[in-house]
Amino acid sequence: MSFKSAIHLLLTTFMLFYVMQFAQANVQIGGSGPTFNVTGRVNVTNDTPLGSIISEKFISSAYNAIVVYDISEGTTGAIGFSTTATLSNGNDVYETGTPGIGVRYFVTVSSDPFFGSSQTGEYPIQNGSFKWVLNPTATGTRNFTIPVAVQFVKTGAIDSATTITSIPAVKVTAFNHTTSTWSKTDIVSGTSSVTITKSTCSQPGSPTINLPQVRASAFPSAGSVSGEKPFSIDSNCSGNVKFQFTFKLTSDFYNSSKSILNNKLTGPGAAKGYGIQIVDENNNEIDANNAIYKTTTDSNNFHKSLKARYYRTNDMVQPGKIESALLYTFDYY
C-alpha cells in the first residue's frame, strides 16, 4: 500500500547435477531445489490503489544448480524460468488463487564470467518466462545458487479472504545447443501461506519547511551550503506493518545523485544559482536515485529525520527567494 506526498521548502539443484542425462551435450545443467514455499504477509484494503505493491519481496537464495561446460561440441545453453499463469496487470503480474491479489517473480542470475552471459543481476519473469542464456568460453564446472523473489500486488477488489494459499508455480527448464530441454525441480511452489492484513496509515499533512534567511556571503563558491533546517517524515498506522520510503524522481531535482532541488521560482526576486539540498540527520548527502529507507520489524509508526539546506549550484548567482518541492513514495505492508 502506498501514497505520495509533497514537501514545500520555502525561502530558499544439489548441485549433484545428474550429468549422465547430458552425456553428449556441450552444456550440462541441473537444478535440484529446494522449491521455495512462500510465507509472509500482505497488507491491502479496497482503498489501496490498483497496481500498488502490498508486500515486501520474499526472497529465497537456496535453490541449488550446477553447470558443466564441454565446449568441444558447441558453446551455448540456457536456464529457463516459466509460469503458465494468467497475467492480471501488465506483463509481469500473475493471478493468484485470491481475488484482487497478483504476484510478481524476480530471478537473480550470476555475474560470474564463467557463465559467459551478458545477463547479470535481477530480472522479472515477464509474459510467462525468463531465459538466462549461457555462452561458455572455457571448460569447467560450477555449483551455485539462484535467488528468487516473490512480491504481491493489488489487482482488483479485495474480498474477505484472510490468507493466500495458492500462487502460480515457477518451473525450471534446462536447454543446450541441441535445443533439447530437460525439466528440473520447480523453483517456486504453487502453494503458499501468506496472511492478509488490512491496516491503514496516515501522515500529518505535507509539511512546509521554512528555511532561515542567509546572506550571500555564506556561499563563497559553488558547492557551498548553509541555512540547514531539520524536518521529518512521519506516519501512524492502525496496525503493525513494515515501511519503505523512497524519493520520487521528478524534474524538481537539479541533481538527483546529491538530492539537490531546483528553485521553482522565476522572474524578479527569484534567487539564481542556488538550490535546496536534502541530507540525512548527520548531514550526509543522499543519492535520491538509490536511497531506500525501510524497516525490518513490525511497527505502527514510522519516523525518518532529514535536513534541508541551501546549496550554491553555480558560479554566477543572484540573491533572492527559493521555493522547492520534494515528492516521495511511502509504502507499508
Give the model confidence (pLDDT) of 272-287 as tens digits.
999 999 999 999 999 9
The whole-number pLDDT of residue 136 equals 81
DSSP 27-42: EEEEEEEPPEEEEEEE
The whole-number pLDDT of residue 11 equals 32
Parts of the chain with a pLDDT under 70: 1-26, 71-75, 178
The whole-number pLDDT of residue 2 equals 52
- Specify the DSSP element, H or E, that contains 133: strand 129-134
d(CA 52, CA 333): 10
In this structure, the dihedral spanned by the alpha carbons of residues 88, 94, 95 and 96, taken in order and rounded to 10 degrees, is -150
Beta bridge partners of 330: 3, 245
Question: What is the CA angle 176-179-185, rounded to 5?
Answer: 60
The whole-number pLDDT of residue 331 equals 86
b/e map of 299-323 (b: 16 or more CB within 10 Å)? eeebebebbbbbbbbeeeeeebebb
d(CA 304, CA 107): 31
| Residue count of the chain | 333
C-alpha cell at 83: 509460469
What CATH number has the domain spanning 200-332?
2.60.40.1090
d(CA 221, CA 311): 10
Q: Do domains 19-197 and 200-332 have the same CATH topology?
A: yes
The whole-number pLDDT of residue 321 equals 94
The whole-number pLDDT of residue 7 equals 44
Q: What is the pTM of this model?
A: 0.79
Residue 1 CB neighbour total at 10 angstroms: 24
Instruction: Return the domain boundaries, the chain.
Output: 19-197, 200-332
Class in CATH terms, 19-197:
mainly beta
CB 12 within 8 A of CB 301: no
The whole-number pLDDT of residue 25 equals 43
Strands 181-197 and 163-166: antiparallel
The whole-number pLDDT of residue 142 equals 92
